[in-house]
Amino acid sequence: MSVRVRLAPSPTGNLHIGTARTAVFNWLFARNQGGTFVLRVEDTDLERSRPEYTENILAGLTWLGLTWDEGPFYQSDRLELYGQNIKTLLEKGLAYRCYCTPEELDAMREAQKARNEAPRYDNRHRHLTPEQQAEFEAEGRQAVIRFRIEDDREISWTDLVRGKVTWKGSDLGGDMVIARASGEGKIGQPLYNFVVVVDDINMKITQVIRGEDHISNTPKQILLYEALNAAIPEFGHTPLILNAEGRKLSKRDGVTSISDFKTMGYTPEALANYMTLLGWTPPDATQELFTLEEAAKHFSFDRVNKAGAKFDWDKLNWINSQYLHKLPIPELMTSLIPYWQEAGYEFDPNSDGAWLEQLTALIGPSLTTLKDGVEMSRLFFTPTVELDTEAKTQLQQEGAIAIVQAIQDKITQQRDQPLTSDAAKAMINSAMKETNVKKGLVMRSLRAALMGTMHGPDLIESWLLFHQKGIDLIRFQTVLQG
């Protein structure tokens, strides 16, 4: 049988890194097996689902390179299918209408709590007579649809990640609600555990790969597969992504959505690479950099860990830096341009193309994220600069101002000639002789005047960039005017 897997995100928020990592594992398995990767949007939560979240999810998967083979399919378009399957269960006597009020359910739970029992539905409306149902209907009560779960059932499956897993029916909380309350004998909005099974049957899903937080849903869903006379897929429950304290990564930990990672300047290749390592160990454990296509050749569930995967910012940053450092300069420049534009820097990507490439080549080796390029290049997009304390102290050294004056004079004298690296070095040597100072003082004074700080990228290359925009003369004049 051909492998068919699916990603089924809920559009109640932006694409979360946990969902994205699940997408990665599904995609890798499908590609490894020559199978099909299906995208299904589970939007039956009408109150919380939003079109903008759907757009964010689709955009995030596309950005990561996780292309799907079928879909996206939307559960909101399939309500009739769910209703037909619920009717089938009702007709078989495997589901029934429950008329309990919220107050009655609350009282039931409080009584159980008082007896130190785990809260569960006590199946009190499982065997209502037609007359009792009619009486509840006459009272105007609305009914949920519940699926029968026998306490003495034992449900087992061989998990792709965890091996044999077994649950008792008595631990599943009583008969399960599969459709929300509705009156007049109608069927209300179907709920997650039911619709996901109907969809997986309808889409012929062969392996359900998802996070371990879904393990408790699996025994309930297996019972539904049996009730609908359908083949039961294999299940694989992958480890959760944990924060530094070992708890499930959440919004409280800061950045968790894929769009946030993009805004921070991570590349899709690096992020996908890192997510692959969150719970999976490649055959060559020393290999840490690879494309999704390369990982797919070796992906298998026997190398997926059972333990939670701690999110390591240092590891992600290192991987991202490696991808950035390997990018050809024109590609890196193209990636940096949106961040420079977002920062409000003024330039023309076309006419300033050569200058921008030189700037990219200068800062590229120091980048960890693309957004780092904003701060690193700020000096090159502003004519004036504020001197920090260290730079001011440097320019107060004896001979420093004379050096700046001498270099400014030489630039003015050679205004009609392009400033090259050799020409800049010649000016520095000439200034040394004229002012009779050591080269170190010249270089430090030049850096202080040009950059306003004693730290930064290569001085000569930076000077060439400043000079092309006339920024060097502006800054020298500012220093000389005190």
The string of pLDDT tens digits covering residues 126-136 is 999 999 999 99
The string of pLDDT tens digits covering residues 75-90 is 999 999 999 999 999 9
Is there a domain that residue 130 lies in? yes
Q: What percent of the chain has pLDDT over 90?
A: 91
pLDDT value of residue 47: 85
- Same domain for 84 and 186, yes or no, is yes
* 416 or 69, higher pLDDT: 69
Q: Helix, strand or coil for residue 96?
A: strand
Find the mean pLDDT for residues 459-466: 97
pLDDT value of residue 255: 75
How does DSSP assign 402-447, residue by residue? HHHHHHHHHHHHTTTS---HHHHHHHHHHHHHHHT--HHHHHHHHH
Q: Distance (Å, rounded) from C-alpha 355 to C-alpha 36?
A: 46
The string of pLDDT tens digits covering residues 264-321 is 999 999 999 999 999 999 999 899 999 999 999 999 999 999 999 999 999 999 999 9
Is there a domain that residue 428 lies in? yes
Long-range (24+ apart) CB contacts under 8 A made by 74-78 are 74/40, 74/41, 74/43, 75/40, 75/41, 75/42, 75/43, 75/44, 75/195, 75/199, 76/43, 76/44, 76/46, 76/49, 78/195, 78/198, 78/199, 78/202
Last residue of a domain, one of 326, 346, 361: 326
Closest CA to 19 of 59, 51, 57, 69: 57
Closest CA to 219 of 151, 177, 166, 150: 166
Can you give the three-state secondary structure of 104-129, one letter per residue?
A: HHHHHHHHHHHCCCCCCCCCCCCCCC
- DSSP H or E segment with residue 91: helix 79-92
Find the mean pLDDT for residues 352-369: 98
pLDDT value of residue 253: 75
DSSP state of 199: H
Supply the range of the domain harboring residue 343. 327-372
CATH number of the domain at 95, please. 3.90.800.10
Is there a domain that residue 200 lies in? no
Q: What percent of the chain has pLDDT over 70?
A: 100
- Same domain for 94 and 178, yes or no, is yes
Mean pLDDT of the chain: 95
pLDDT value of residue 262: 97
Is there a domain that residue 197 lies in? no
Direct distance between the N- and C-terminal alpha carbons of the chain, in angstroms, rounded to an integer: 80
> With bands split at pLDDT 50, 70 and 90, how would you rate the model's confidence at 254?
confident
Q: Helix, strand or coil for residue 41?
A: strand
pLDDT value of residue 304: 97
Which phi and psi (to 5°) does residue 479 adopt? -65, -45
pLDDT at 28 over 80: yes
pLDDT value of residue 418: 86
Q: Distance (Å, rounded) from C-alpha 200 to C-alpha 412?
A: 75
CATH number of the domain at 367, please. 1.10.8.70
Residue found by looking up tokens 């894929």 in the block: 258
Query: Model pTM greater than 0.75?
Result: yes
pLDDT value of residue 370: 98
Catalytic (active site) residue 326? no
- Same domain for 181 and 93, yes or no, is yes
Q: Distance (Å, rounded) from C-alpha 192 to C-alpha 221?
A: 10
CATH number of the domain at 250, please. 3.40.50.620
pLDDT value of residue 399: 92
CATH number of the domain at 443, please. 1.10.10.350
The reply to whether omega before 72 is within 30° of 0 (cis) is yes
- Same domain for 95 and 9, yes or no, is no
Is there a domain that residue 353 lies in? yes
Q: Distance (Å, rounded) from C-alpha 265 to C-alpha 82?
A: 42
- Same domain for 5 and 93, yes or no, is no
pLDDT at 440 over 80: yes
- Same domain for 321 and 331, yes or no, is no
Last residue of a domain, one of 191, 224, 258: 191
**Angle at CA of residue 358, ends 463 and 418, nearest 5°:** 55
pLDDT at 241 over 90: yes
Catalytic pick among 186, 251, 306, 439? 251
- Same domain for 45 and 65, yes or no, is yes
Name the binding residues for Zn(2+).
Answer: 98, 100, 125, 127
- Same domain for 186 and 84, yes or no, is yes
Is there a domain that residue 282 lies in? yes
Is there a domain that residue 234 lies in? no
Find the mean pLDDT for residues 361-376: 98
Q: Helix, strand or coil for residue 287?
A: coil
- DSSP H or E segment with residue 23: helix 17-33
Name the binding residues for ATP.
Answer: 251
Last residue of a domain, one of 191, 206, 230: 191
- Same domain for 357 and 300, yes or no, is no
Find the mean pLDDT for residues 309-336: 97
- Same domain for 155 and 93, yes or no, is yes
- Same domain for 307 and 256, yes or no, is yes
Find the mean pLDDT for residues 436-459: 95
- Same domain for 186 and 113, yes or no, is yes
Closest CA to 40 of 13, 67, 6: 6
Q: How many domains does the chain have?
A: 4
Is there a domain that residue 219 lies in? no
pLDDT value of residue 317: 98
pLDDT at 165 over 90: yes
> With bands split at pLDDT 50, 70 and 90, how would you rate the model's confidence at 190?
very high
pLDDT value of residue 256: 82
pLDDT value of residue 416: 77
